[in-house]
Amino acid sequence: MVRQVALYVCGSYTPTRQFLEIKRPNPLVTGDLFSRVSVLKLSEPEDLERMESALEGARLTFEQVRGGFFPLFERLGFLRRLRVRLEEQGEAMARNISFEVAKPIRLARTEVRRALATLDWTLIEAERELPPETIPTAGRPDSADFFAFSQREPKGPVLAISPFNFPLNLIMHKLAPALAAGCPLILKPSPKGALVALHLTDLCHACELPAGMLSTLVCDDDVTMKLATDSRVPVVSFTGSAGVGEKLLRAAVSKDVVLECGGAAPVFINADADLERAADACVLGAFTYSGQVCISIQNIFIAEPVRAPFERLLKARTETFAYGPINDEKTLASQVIDVAAGERLRAARAAVLKAGGRVVAETPAYAPDLGPDSVAPALFTGLSPTDALVREELFGPYAFLFSVADLDEFTQLANAFPARLQTSVFTRDLGQAFEATRRLHYGGVLINESPMLRLEPMPYGGEGSAGRGREGPRYAMESYTAPKSVIIRMR
């Protein structure tokens, strides 16, 4: 029986006449429809009414919050209940993630654990960040008669636009800080991750989140732009492609816009690096979840003296990488998100070879065939680090190898990339490590670790076209709130 999934508007489940068909990304049941998710279309008058209900409900709820409704202790109580419920539902959520976005089951379980950690850090940081903070006044005679403090107040409803690749944790990085801060959330998930988003919405509803604090709308691009440009939404938080991010930034000129748009994640292997450890990190960082991570390694720059031995290590690891079906407990790379993504990546591979690139190593295909949406991890060489294919995010299990003389040459090349989210340097030289952190103009610089590492409480974001602003619970709450100063004359 096909399951019909309704949208969620201000505490109520709302079916629509238009549906998005969700199919299992599994070669054994390709094309097997297992859900229809309601979707909003700008062409449908009833859908315009539902969009208006979500916007007006968020506005009215925000006005109530400003008047004292749903105070901080109740908001944190809700997040604690949500954490308990998510942990109880952890295995079911992991399986939903795995089947909907073709994520290997062991990685899906990791995502659930990370979402729980995001909730934990939101609770910790909210206790630090949101209560009033005293402003010093006693140190000077002209302010000694005053008592002053500042408090952070919510800016208003937040539109959160999330991608498919982390359909739970990237939503949690928006939802938990927004609700902790007192901002009603209008969640627009990727249609490719809609079931996970609506599963999380169900948990929020079960934990008695007040109506108006959350609407989850699966919608087309036209509805999304209507939401983003509506005056009742002062904050937009977007994770996705640079092209869509730029479009949102141009459209929402009067708003606070937080963007995370990915990058090409270059790494440098210094001549003194622990090559075995670096090779492990590079292969995992390049190919895990088929490279569908905005901080997946795409470019590996190797100091010339160690190029040959390091390439041999990468080749051996690539050829034995854990590539297989999503339900295999050992699998780390499997299908990509859909057939269109597979075709795009195969076209990119052909373009690399046509441009003079060659395959250094490739993971043998799993038998039986994983289907047309599967792409085997591969290493390439022979291109220039200035080629567009190298500099633009491929969002797939491909990585390019280059030789460089030293950290200086790597720094010049890496800083020339347009999207600078995270980068890594592998070295035993502490001086080189600190020099790298100073000279690399990236949102994150990692030493002796893959740039695919993200700690949930860190300020996460990039430079250049990689984005604008920072996420992480504390930094998201800062983006969603504004400080208000209160000054009282005591005598």
What residue type is assigned to position 115 of the chain? A
Predicted pLDDT of residue 27: 43
User: Rounded distance, CA 233 to CA 251, Å?
Assistant: 13
477 contacts 181 by C-beta, under 8 angstroms: yes
Model confidence pLDDT, tens digit, residues 459-479: 999 999 999 999 999 999 999
What share of the chain in percent tops pLDDT 90? 86
Model confidence pLDDT, tens digit, residues 39-61: 999 889 999 999 999 999 999 99
pLDDT > 80? residue 129: yes
Q: Which residue has the tokens 């060489």?
A: 381
| E strands present in 363-465 | 378-381, 398-404, 419-420, 422-426, 444-447, 463-464
Nearest residue to 229 (alpha-carbon basis) of 205, 203, 247, 206? 247
Question: What is the rounded average pLDDT of the residues 132-154?
Answer: 93
Model confidence pLDDT, tens digit, residues 178-225: 999 999 999 999 999 999 999 999 999 999 999 999 999 999 999 999
pLDDT > 60? residue 33: no
Question: What is the rounded average pLDDT of the residues 83-112?
Answer: 96
Predicted pLDDT of residue 51: 96
Q: pLDDT class for 32, splitting at 50, 70, 90? A: low
Q: Write down all domains in the chain, each with its CATH number in brackets.
A: 3-261+468-486 (3.40.605.10), 266-457 (3.40.309.10)
420 contacts 443 by C-beta, under 8 angstroms: yes
Model confidence pLDDT, tens digit, residues 355-403: 999 999 999 865 556 778 889 999 999 999 999 999 999 999 999 999 9
Average pLDDT over the chain reads 94
> Pairing between strand 256-260 and 467-468?
antiparallel
Q: Which residue has the tokens 């992480």?
A: 472
Nearest residue to 273 (alpha-carbon basis) of 246, 237, 242, 313? 313
pTM: 0.95
